[in-house]
Chain A
C-alpha cells in the first residue's frame, strides 16, 4: 500500500530525514515512534504530498507522491499534529467544506458527514462553533475530517497528544476500530499507544529508522533479558555482593535507599526461576525481603536503548552512562502511563 524507498529530506544544510525506507501493507496499523524532532512529521508530510522528498521515492497505492500528488491526496486522510480547523465554522459546515474540497460528489456529502460524525461520536457538537470546542472534540473533528472521503490510507500525526486519559482511550479505541478497512500510519512519542494499537512499530531517531518490527518481537529481540526490582533490608555491600554473585545476574544497581532498606534493580537473563533464586538467596542470608517484583523490559526501555545507543557509542569512555538514567526514568514514566490508563 505504502512504499518508501531511500527518502531523504533536507532543509538547507539540515537533514530531517535520512535514507528512510519502509513498506506498509494494506490494512496494517503502523506506529512511528521517536523522540520529538526525530523526523516523524517530516516523513508523514512527504507521504501526504505536503512536502516533496529531496531524494528517493514514496508511493501510495501505486501512485508516486511527487509525480501524481492529486491521486495520492485523494487516497490519504491526514490529521496533522494540530488539527486544521477553522474556528469560525460550525462542525457541520466545516465537514461539508472539507467534503467538497476532497471532491466528494454533492449528493453524497450529507451522507458522508453523517457517517463520520457518528463514527467519531461528534453528534452533540454538530451545530457548535469549532472555536468553542474542547480539545478532545477538536481532535475528534480532526479525525472526522481525515475520514470524510473514506480514504484507503490514514496518516495521523500524534493523534492523542494533549488529550486527557479518558479521551486518549476513546481515540485509541476509535483508531483500532478503523483497522482493517484503512491502512493507518500514526506517530507518537508515547509508547503504550504503540503497543496498544499498532501491529508494527517503526522506531525513528535523528531522521533514521532504528528498528521496525511487531511490539512483541521488538521486546524479545532487544534482549533476552528481564529485570527484577527487589526491596531488601540488610547491609548494602553485603546485599549487592550476594545478588551479584547469583548465577544469571548481569547487573545490580541501587534504585533507592531508606532506613537500612534498599530497592535494587537487578538485570537478569531471561529465566523464570531467577526471581525464586534471588528470594532464596536473600532469605537464607537472614536479611528481610519486603518485595520482589519482576519487570519485563518494556517498549520504553527498548526505545531508550535504541535511541541512545548512538550516543553511547560516541561517549564510549563512559559505558552505560546513558542507561542508568534510562533505567531510572522508565519506572516513573510507566507509572504515569498506568495512571493514564486507569
Chain B
C-alpha cells in the first residue's frame, strides 16, 4: 500500500509541476461556473415568475436540488468526457517515451502497485475538479437549504464515473509511447461509450439493451437523482477493474515485447 501511495503522490504532484493541472482546473472552473450560473439565473427567473403569478400557492416551492444541482452536475459529466483523456494520456506513454518506465519496472514493485498508484494519482486530480464544483454549489447553502444527501450521492456517482473513464484512459496510455495517440484513443472510446445507449431508443432487441447497459452515462442518471442502485455500482466497479486489469496485462506484454 505504501508503494501505491508513493506512486500516486508523485503522479499527483507531477500534474501540479506541469501545466496540466492548472489547465484542466481552469477549463473546468470556467465551464462549470458558466453552466452553474446560467442554471441558477434560469431558476431564479423562473421561480420569480411563479410567485409573481401566484400560481405557486399551495404547491411546494421549487426544489433547488432538482432544478439547479442536478442539471449542473449532469452537464459536468460531459465536460469530464473531454478532460479525462487529458489527465490520463501521459500516465504511461510519457514514461515509455522517456525510458523512466525502466526505473519502475526494475524496482521491487509489483505491477499493480504501479498501475493502482498512477490511477489513484489521476483520480486525486479528478477529485480536485469535483472540489471546484462543490465550491460553486456550496453558495446555494448560504441562500437556500438544499438537501445534502442527493448531492453527496451525485458526487459519489461522479467519482465512480470518473474512475471508470480514468481506468480506461490508464489502459490506453500503456499501449503507446505517444501521448497524443493515447489521448485520442481514450477520447474516442469514451465518446463511443457515451453515445452507445442512443441506439436503444429505436433498437429494443438484445443488442439494444446490451448497448444501453454498456454505456457510461445512463448509469449516472440514478446517482444524479440521489439513488444508489446496485447494478450501477456493479457496472462502475467492474469497468474500473477491467480497465486496471487490461493495464496490467499490457504492462506485462511490454516486458515480452520491449
List the interface of chain A (C-beta within 8 A of B): 11, 45, 48-52, 70-71, 73-74, 76, 78, 80, 82, 84-89, 97-98, 100-103, 145
Contacts and interface: CB of A to CB of B under 8 A. Distances in A.
Interface in B121-162: none
A88 B6 contact: no
Given A100-B3, A100-B6, 11 more contacts: A51-B256, A52-B255, A52-B256, A73-B109, A82-B99, A84-B100, A88-B17, A88-B18, A97-B6, A100-B2, A101-B7
A167 B10 CA distance: 31
B201 interface: no
Given A82-B99, A84-B100, A51 B107 contact: no
Interface string B71-84: 00000000000000
Interface of B: 2-3, 6-7, 10, 14, 17-18, 98-110, 255-258
A102 B108 contact: yes
A159 to B, nearest CB: 15
B14 A86 contact: yes
B4 to A, nearest CB: 11
Contacts of B102: 50, 78, 80, 84
A161 to B, nearest CB: 14
Contacts of A71: 108
B108 A73 contact: yes
Given A45-B258, A88-B17, A98 B103 contact: yes
Per DSSP, chain B at the interface is helix
B17 to A, nearest CB: 4
A88 B12 CA distance: 12
Contacts of A98: 103, 107
**Nearest 10 CB-CB pairs, A to B?**
A84-B103, A84-B100, A73-B108, A100-B6, A88-B17, A48-B106, A74-B108, A101-B107, A82-B99, A80-B102
12 contacts: A11-B257, A48-B106, A50-B258, A51-B255, A52-B255, A70-B110, A98-B103, A101-B6, A101-B7, A101-B103, A101-B104, A103-B108
A101 B11 CA distance: 13
Nearest to A76: B106
B108 A145 contact: no
A232 B102 CA distance: 56
B221 to A, nearest CB: 39
A73 B100 contact: no
Residue among B2, B99, B106 with the most chain A CB within 10 A? B106
Contacts of A78: 102, 106
A139 to B, nearest CB: 14
A291 to B, nearest CB: 48
A73 B105 CA distance: 9
Contacts of A82: 98-99
A145 B103 contact: yes
A70 to B, nearest CB: 5
A51 B252 CA distance: 10
A206 to B, nearest CB: 20
A7 B2 CA distance: 35
B6 A50 contact: no
